[in-house]
Chain A
């Protein structure tokens, strides 16, 4: 037996690296493909960034991906603080602030409600629970456009038409469907015996939620926060429909800035504005993206 092993390993040694070479080639191929695709996907972003740092003369002369000869943040500063959006000339900063005023409470409220709903649906039985969960799931599939008119009517009756709280309400209502589903599907993987043990130990409805469940649900909390944050931040339709004038979110302001038809088109400013509008979601992905992946995988593997 040992002699056989020796002879076969000697034979492998005689053909230097045939297996190793093909393995290395495979690796180079895989990494090459990944790098190429990453470049393809990142090219628009790169082009935006480069263009935003150039002057208008250079943009007219050069090509999209050439490096700026004298990089300048003048366009960034201008769109941030001075560009005219509609009839007011204060730049994006006010609208950027509006977006935060909308996103932070909308994310927080919808994640909190979703966590609570998910807990109830996952671990407490009540009459009609499956039907109600089904209806909430159905909410995930309702296209935005369908609710525009009834929602406008409702906001009007509530006295929230055109305001930031109105937009927060709309986003919370839409977000609950997704966050409820996320949390319910996460909590259903928690063994039922843990809940029984907690009941025997004397923990009530809220103690079980706050003391036992929430501390182990950070992966799904991260998923929900990222999901809601990017969704609400990137929303344009609700923003343009339900917010008026200076209450508009940054996406709407960006559109108004870029689509202004008077004067020459300042591509560097358009790109700078688009970068500013996209930055928070990019940053949150960079900072918390790995939690997002981990959260989406959680529950798939017993652990």
Chain B
């Protein structure tokens, strides 16, 4: 168990910067998720933390001690890989015990540790099998066991769930979270799946093009995204972004012939005529007639209805703009219908139209 600090870490191949001045620090027992589209540098960053890759400049400390230049085995970390990377010729027992064998732990002690971990992961009955005889979910568990058995300072996960089918993925997600709560371990977890990030993390680092876009708690990231990229990457369906112009104390929505007040959260002074984007999460819209509190509302045309079970996604139209809303099932809306939708502006976010930065 340990804290981890990534200080000004940069990685470049020649003139191509893969990671640009990354700064992240987490406390002991935190669950950090690195999330971003493919090619954003999140896996490279994880490899650098593991010691499998070298950074160009900056430094990484575990428990306050710099680990730059140390071999992976000297960093007291364990890693779970996307493809599980089990050793094909070894049984599950040997796979899990391999790191202990490499550290020359006596056999009796080793077997005890292995059986403890197998118990925890409920794979005791698989110990004598070879990886080739296991299902995807079982292999995943063995890969986790291989990491757990070492009782390392930090666990590193590289998209460990992306090879599983949807149902198993959700199960394993919960299981990893349970393990985290039970062991109180420090975890760094890489994924491109924003739902995994939101559900598991205590801290999220959103990355794009080798640049850290935002680092914060899941609530921070979801409710107070710092820029348009974070706002649209996190959350599904994505946040609605409506181009607008500042007119006095109001926003004139472009292409929609509608006016809304400036959200109260905006503290920066707005100059008249400034071009902005109004960010609205789909769940911040509701049908106005359904007893919602009086507040700003927009008349919108219902175009498409997508029931998902608990919610209904509704594609709404305001002039040229399409707006997604997440409504509770049973909301009386039908395609082709025109209705007034209330907008929760207490949470709405304004972004600068040119730079995409939140105001």
Binding site for B on A (CB under 8 A): 191, 193-194, 196-203, 207, 211-212, 215-216
Contacts and interface: CB of A to CB of B under 8 A. Distances in A.
Interface stretch (B69-77, B200-208, B232-240): B69-77
A207 B52 contact: no
Given A191-B85, A194-B85, A216-B89, A200 B77 contact: yes
Contact of B85 (A196, A211, A215): A196
Contact of A216 (B73, B78, B88): B88
B89 A200 contact: no
Contact of B81 (A197, A207, A211): A197
Interface string B131-171: 00000000000000010000000000000000000000000
A198 B94 CA distance: 13
11 contacts: A194-B87, A196-B50, A196-B52, A197-B81, A199-B71, A202-B72, A202-B99, A203-B98, A211-B87, A215-B88, A216-B88
A194 B86 CA distance: 7
B213 interface: no
Nearest to B132: A303
A200 B103 contact: no
Contacts of B78: 200
Contact of A193 (B73, B81, B88): B81
Contacts of B90: 211-212, 215
Contacts of A194: 85-88
B100 to A, nearest CB: 9
Given A201-B99, A207-B102, A212 B52 contact: no
A215 to B, nearest CB: 3
SS of A interface (majority): helix
A115 to B, nearest CB: 15
B82 A201 contact: no
A207 B88 CA distance: 15
Contact of B98 (A191, A196, A201): A201
Contacts of A196: 47, 50, 52, 79, 81, 85
Contacts of B79: 196-197, 200
B214 to A, nearest CB: 29
A193 B99 contact: no
A191 B87 CA distance: 10
B83 interface: yes
A299 to B, nearest CB: 13
A202 B103 contact: yes
B146 A191 contact: no
B122 to A, nearest CB: 22
A199 B73 contact: yes
A212 B87 contact: yes
A294 to B, nearest CB: 16
A22 to B, nearest CB: 41
Nearest to B143: A197
B118 to A, nearest CB: 17
B38 to A, nearest CB: 16
Contacts of B102: 201-203, 207
Which 9 residue pairs are nearest across A and B when measured between Cβ atoms?
A215-B89, A202-B73, A202-B102, A201-B99, A193-B85, A197-B85, A193-B81, A200-B72, A194-B85
Contacts of A191: 83, 85
Nearest to B74: A202
Contact of A199 (B72, B82, B103): B72
Nearest to A303: B132
Contacts of A198: 87, 98
Contacts of A207: 102
B146 A201 contact: yes
B78 to A, nearest CB: 7
Contacts of A215: 88-90
Contact of B83 (A193, A200, A216): A193
B87 A200 contact: no
A132 B140 CA distance: 39
A198 B89 CA distance: 13
A211 B87 CA distance: 9
